[in-house]
Amino acid sequence: MADDQVSVFDIRGRAYIVTGAGRGIGAELANGLAEAGAAIAVAGRTGADCEKVAASIAAKGGRAIAVGFDARDEAQCAELVTRAAATFGQLDGAVINHGIGLHRDALDTTREEFAAMLDGNLTSYFLMCRELGRHWIAAKQPGAIVLMSSNASILSYGELAAYGVSKAGVDQLARQLGAEWARHGIRVNAIGPGYMAASMKGIESIYDAPEVKAKILPKIPAGRYGALRELLGATQFFLSDASSYATGQYLAVDGGYSLI
């Protein structure tokens, strides 16, 4: 690349927070963004896992810190934003990726389980976004937020009523905040993964079972589960200047599952 031709996808020298980054999608995105030249605050509830991911990034010449935190705690969300900005001297964006899953028929879902889904998958997203928005607006700086949703936010799956509703809220959060904060240069977009090669903690065995795969794969036009790495391009797009005029959008990355 010539010195005077900087790609609009270039994120070298930028700094991002990735939540839920101790494993799965979050760990893959943290590593991928670091390989693209960004500094990463690897955040999640299991500090030891975050330390491993941050160490892996550092071993490859990248820059990262590990931050153990619970996104349901607004004080910890604020501390994460403050620490990341102070450590790197800047904060350009965040990937809000943490979350919990629940497979339960709606008739059997308890009030407590439904509330936990909303708290872990939606309210916590709002709290993180709010602290990021406050930080950037106070500093008069732009920022980019990527919310990890799910195609369960736009489709109806069996036994995913509470989960699907929580993720539909994530999509609306992207639209609402995208509209409210555009004037501040803050963009908020959502990505909706479909069936991926690694599932959310606690439900891996459901989708990895051969009999379940045999039912699911024929319904995916691509004919396979997605690799976690295949979420990186969409994430980098929404974090980079390539999407400078895009906000409040939802992008399905599901091998075409939501098309049929």
Q: Which residues are catalytic?
A: 149, 163, 167
CA angle (13 as vertex; 12, 14 as ends), nearest 5: 95
Among 75, 73, 76, 55, CA closest to 65: 55
Beta strands 64-68 and 39-44 are parallel
Residue with tokens 């690694």: 198
Tokens representing 259?
A: 């098309």
Among 231, 140, 232, CA closest to 186: 140
Tokens representing 186?
A: 């803050």
Among 184, 189, 193, 180, CA closest to 256: 193
Tokens representing 145?
A: 């937020």
Taking every pair of Cα atoms in the chain, the longest distance, rounded to a whole number of angstroms, is 60
* Cβ contact 41:9 at 8 Å: no
